[in-house]
Amino acid sequence: MTLSTSARRRLRVAAALITTACLAAGCSHASSSDGESAAGGGEYAIWDPYPQFDDSSDWVRLLTGCGTDAGVTVKRTGYDTTDLTNKALLAAQQGNSPDVLIVDNPVVSTLAEAGVLTTTAETKVDTSAVEPNLLAAGQLDGKTYGIPIGANTLALYYNKNVLDAAKVDPATVTDWASLTAALAKVKAAGKKGITFSAIGTEEGSFQFLPWFWGSGANLTQLDSAPAVSALTLWTDWLKQGYAPNSVINNTQTTSWQEFTSGDFAFSENGTWQLANAKKAGFPYGIIPIPAKAGGTAPAPTGGEFVTAPAQKDTARYATTDKIIGCLTSADNAYTTDTTLSYIAATDAVQRKQVQTTPDLAVWVDAVHAAKGRTSDDLGTRYPKISEPMWGAFQAALSGSKSPQDALSAAQQAAAAATR
């Protein structure tokens, strides 16, 4: 692929915009071969963000099998999420992109705008069965750039022992008022309320978004009255002692560690903690994050998209389509999403997951209500909005600014950055 000067400039800009937080569980160089095109077999390169899986894993065996089914040899490389994005941008500049690239969903719009990715219309990838709210994370200007391999999102884990001692029925927690009332009862019973991550990174924004969106706020107006109410909810929890001051520095991992101490009633965390919850040593349950006025708040989607970078030899796309179709087929998606602790991207596989593991029902509901961070056609504007937003909740939680002043400053910064 030969890039014009303007395309190369977009690639350089894209590299500066990439959001590098890894929001999945726990969260390697190959190049596209110059070998034969689709009709004649050859070697096809796949890059993914799962370096924890070696050649003996089910994941790599799946990749190899999909290549074999398509009549080609797969050369797979697993990178750390941050490294993968940088490698993908460099490879596009050099004209040696992999045939299949699996990337964190907020990165898709950045790579697409930079001209790195093909659309699913070009490669003929079938996305018709994918849940629209999940597919939206890979869409930009009306075009779709890949297919989700699965999704994770956020909900509230709770400690049954703590809630029982405080005489709180988790089924009564249906909105912000009932949640705050529950936290007050927990504190009165001598226990701790809720822990979450409000660190000044994308990880903190990921955790703030359910409350922000659950208030009815929109990312294009960070200082709206609903947005201020969301940040006020968090700051009031700290002032009342319902949440610890440590949330300002908590990652999702350290927040989870606080919850597993057994003293907290609630923890905002994701599907990737399910296995750890079962080893926590106390009975637990899970409820959706409530919206301000009731119902399930839209939480952001995590998870990766399977994409097809642009190739000079467009005849390769036919085989690329076969490989991607194999990776995201119903049977393989079920196995892969189980391995990655993801909720599937299609209704049929989601139903199979719940039949096998009833505990996943609440997560399926959460995923149905979820939305991509780059949705609403924000695309590459999202990182420029997210950073001022996390600066705002850091300022408010530390007490250096009121929620209104913090978000007003954030809106000014975001507006200037996205002009």
> Tens digit of pLDDT for each residue in 184-206?
999 999 999 999 999 999 999 99
* Residues 135 and 207 occupy one common structural domain: no
> Which pLDDT value is given to residue 41?
73
250 exposed, middle or buried (CB, 10 Å; 0-12, 13-18, 19+)?
buried
> Which pLDDT value is given to residue 83?
87
Query: Within 10 A of 315 (CB to CB), how many other CB atoms are there?
Result: 12
* Chain-centroid distance, C-alpha 237: 25
Is 95 a member of any domain? yes
CB 234 within 8 A of CB 198: yes
Q: pLDDT category, 82, cuts 50, 70, 90? A: confident
Considering the chain, what percentage of its residues have pLDDT values greater than 90? 85
* Residues 41 and 132 occupy one common structural domain: yes
Question: Is residue 13 scored above 50 in pLDDT?
Answer: no
Q: What is the mean pLDDT of residues 352-362?
A: 93
Q: Which helix (H) or strand (E) holds 140?
A: strand 139-140
Tokens representing residue 249 in the block: 């520095």
The per-residue pLDDT for range 365-416, each reduced to its tens digit, is: 999 999 999 998 899 999 999 999 999 999 999 999 999 999 999 999 999 9
* Residues 273 and 410 occupy one common structural domain: yes
The per-residue pLDDT for range 322-356, each reduced to its tens digit, is: 999 999 999 999 998 988 889 999 999 999 999 99
Q: pLDDT category, 318, cuts 50, 70, 90? A: very high
Report how far residue 151's alpha carbon sits from residue 398's, in angstroms, rounded to the nearest whole number.
32
Is 144 a member of any domain? yes
For the ranges 17-26, 106-115, 251-260, which has the lowest average pLDDT? 17-26
* Ranges 18-27, 75-84, 189-198, most confident: 189-198
Is 276 a member of any domain? yes
21 phi/psi in degrees, rounded to 5: -70, 140
Is 293 a member of any domain? yes
CB 146 within 8 A of CB 328: no
* Residues 39 and 101 occupy one common structural domain: yes
The per-residue pLDDT for range 209-238, each reduced to its tens digit, is: 999 999 999 999 999 999 999 999 999 999
Question: Is residue 53 scored above 50 in pLDDT?
Answer: yes
> Which pLDDT value is given to residue 2?
40
**Average pLDDT value over all residues in the chain:** 90
* Residues 224 and 163 occupy one common structural domain: yes
* Residues 228 and 198 occupy one common structural domain: yes
Question: Is residue 144 scored above 60 in pLDDT?
Answer: yes
* Residues 409 and 314 occupy one common structural domain: no
Number of domains in the chain: 2
* Residues 314 and 203 occupy one common structural domain: no
Q: pLDDT category, 19, cuts 50, 70, 90? A: very low
Q: What is the mean pLDDT of residues 71-75?
A: 97
CATH of the domain at 310: 3.40.190.10
Report how far residue 101's alpha carbon sits from residue 98's, in angstroms, rounded to the nearest whole number.
6
Is 33 a member of any domain? yes
76 phi/psi in degrees, rounded to 5: -105, 140
Is 362 a member of any domain? no
Contacts of 139 (CB under 8 A, 6+ apart): 109, 145, 375, 377
Report how far residue 382's alpha carbon sits from residue 376's, in angstroms, rounded to the nearest whole number.
10
Report how far residue 416's alpha carbon sits from residue 145's, in angstroms, rounded to the nearest whole number.
28
Question: Is residue 36 scored above 70 in pLDDT?
Answer: no
**Residue whose pair of structure tokens reads 């975001």 in the numeric block:** 414
CA atoms within 13 A on the CB side of 331: 3
Report how far residue 108's alpha carbon sits from residue 110's, in angstroms, rounded to the nearest whole number.
5
How many residues appear in the chain?
A: 419
Q: What is the mean pLDDT of residues 115-133?
A: 95
Is 245 a member of any domain? yes
Q: pLDDT category, 297, cuts 50, 70, 90? A: very high
Tokens representing residue 42 in the block: 């050859």
The per-residue pLDDT for range 368-382, each reduced to its tens digit, is: 999 999 998 899 999
Question: Is residue 4 scored above 70 in pLDDT?
Answer: no
pTM of the model: 0.86
372 exposed, middle or buried (CB, 10 Å; 0-12, 13-18, 19+)?
buried
Report how far residue 383's alpha carbon sits from residue 20's, in angstroms, rounded to the nearest whole number.
10
Is 78 a member of any domain? yes
Query: Within 10 A of 293 (CB to CB), how many other CB atoms are there?
Result: 12
* Residues 236 and 279 occupy one common structural domain: yes
Parent domain of 216: 154-299+379-417
